[in-house]
Amino acid sequence: MFEFYLKRWNLQVDGAPIVTPGSHVLPVRLDDAPAMLKIALDDEEKYGNRLMVWWAGEGAARVYAYHGDGLLMERAMGRRSLMQMALAGEDDEVSRIVCANLARLHAPRATPLPPLLSLQEWFKALRPAARREGGVFLRCLATADELLATPREQVVLHGDIHHDNVLDFEERGWLVIDPKRVMGERGFDFANLICNPDLATSSDPRRFTRQVEVIAQAAGLERKRLRQWVLAYTGLSAAWFLEDGDIPSAEHQLQVAELAIHALEDAA
């Protein structure tokens, strides 16, 4: 799978391949500089590659070459990790770093947009889950419908911002990888930073309250609307986890949804 691109771009293998459901990634060297070769296997990854090209290295890893399903981009060589920082109690700093990065990603570009999906399309999985599961899912769906019916500040979104998709590129700073292909209200992109299921503390009520405040201030977001986006997104994320048979992760997301519900009711 890699051989075609290794020859096309005259690359040298520099590590073991990384295999995910949507792509195969290989550390390589380009003219002795570290890089990553990514081969997209599904449509989401293919469209994500095109979005990486569109960002042109502003807020995202720089793309060196792009052809077919293959993407050659700069490799993150820094040792810092936002996940490790968050686990060490540095949530405030992590949130401010990501907010600054998203401000760069959300800025308008002069170049034509790549193919994108609307948030309405992105939220399709929530509706059947709400009909089937009821309960908190219905509240998540109602909130999502309210937000989607009153869109604000439409931007090109990353679509999957979490602690392991913003990496340390040393002198180039913190940059994103692995975007989706979504356009919609910018507040959506901050929700997963609060409810990331890979971060065990995301269901901690004190952390939830604190990070809503930090992110709202750093990103210039209305607190109520940010809480609503968290509620909508946790329902969608839980629906996706149920589709994959991952019940513990779905239950974790619903715990965060409950935090958002209580926060919205307390602020009413």
CATH number at residue 236: 3.90.1200.10
Specify the number of domains making up the chain.
Answer: 2
Looking at the structure, tell me whether residues 87 and 70 fall in a common domain.
Answer: no
Looking at the structure, tell me whether residues 93 and 189 fall in a common domain.
Answer: yes
- Is-contact 156 51, C-beta < 8 A? yes
Cβ neighbourhood burial of 224 (10 Å; 0-12, 13-18, 19+) = middle
- Cα–Cα distances (Å) from 85 to 57, 97, 163, 199, in that order, read 24, 11, 9, 11
Looking at the structure, tell me whether residues 98 and 191 fall in a common domain.
Answer: yes
CATH code of the domain containing 62: 3.30.200
Looking at the structure, tell me whether residues 100 and 23 fall in a common domain.
Answer: no
> Can you give the pLDDT at residue 200?
85
Looking at the structure, tell me whether residues 242 and 111 fall in a common domain.
Answer: yes
Give dist(CA 218, CA 100) in Å, integer.
8
> Can you give the pLDDT at residue 267?
87
Last residue of a domain, one of 43, 74, 105: 74
Looking at the structure, tell me whether residues 194 and 115 fall in a common domain.
Answer: yes
> Can you give the pLDDT at residue 162?
92
Looking at the structure, tell me whether residues 163 and 245 fall in a common domain.
Answer: yes
Q: Is 199 helix (H, G, I), strand (E, B) or coil?
A: coil
Looking at the structure, tell me whether residues 242 and 124 fall in a common domain.
Answer: yes
Looking at the structure, tell me whether residues 35 and 105 fall in a common domain.
Answer: no
Other CB atoms within a 10 A radius of the CB of residue 239 amount to: 24
Concerning whether 164 is annotated as a catalytic residue, the answer is no
> Can you give the pLDDT at residue 29?
98
Tokens 């051989």: give the residue.
3
Residue type, 87: L
Distance in Å from the first CA to the final CA of the chain: 55
Q: Could you tell me the pTM of the whole model? A: 0.94
Looking at the structure, tell me whether residues 121 and 248 fall in a common domain.
Answer: yes
Give dist(CA 233, CA 226) in Å, integer.
10
- Cα–Cα distances (Å) from 112 to 53, 54, 186, 248, in that order, read 12, 8, 19, 41
Last residue of a domain, one of 74, 93, 122: 74
Q: What is the pLDDT along the chain (268 residues), one digit of tens a residue?
A: 899 999 999 999 999 999 988 999 999 999 999 999 999 999 999 999 999 999 999 999 999 999 999 999 999 999 999 999 999 999 999 999 999 999 999 999 999 999 999 999 999 999 999 999 999 999 999 999 999 999 999 999 999 999 999 999 999 999 999 999 999 999 999 999 999 888 889 999 999 999 999 999 999 999 999 999 999 999 999 999 999 999 999 999 999 999 999 999 998 7
Looking at the structure, tell me whether residues 87 and 67 fall in a common domain.
Answer: no
- DSSP H helices, the chain, are 3-8, 43-55, 82-87, 91-106, 119-122, 126-133, 136-149, 191-195, 205-219, 223-243, 247-267
Looking at the structure, tell me whether residues 53 and 110 fall in a common domain.
Answer: no
- Is-contact 253 136, C-beta < 8 A? no
Last residue of a domain, one of 14, 40, 74: 74
Domain carrying residue 231: 82-267
Annotated catalytic residue: which of 14, 145, 160, 204?
160
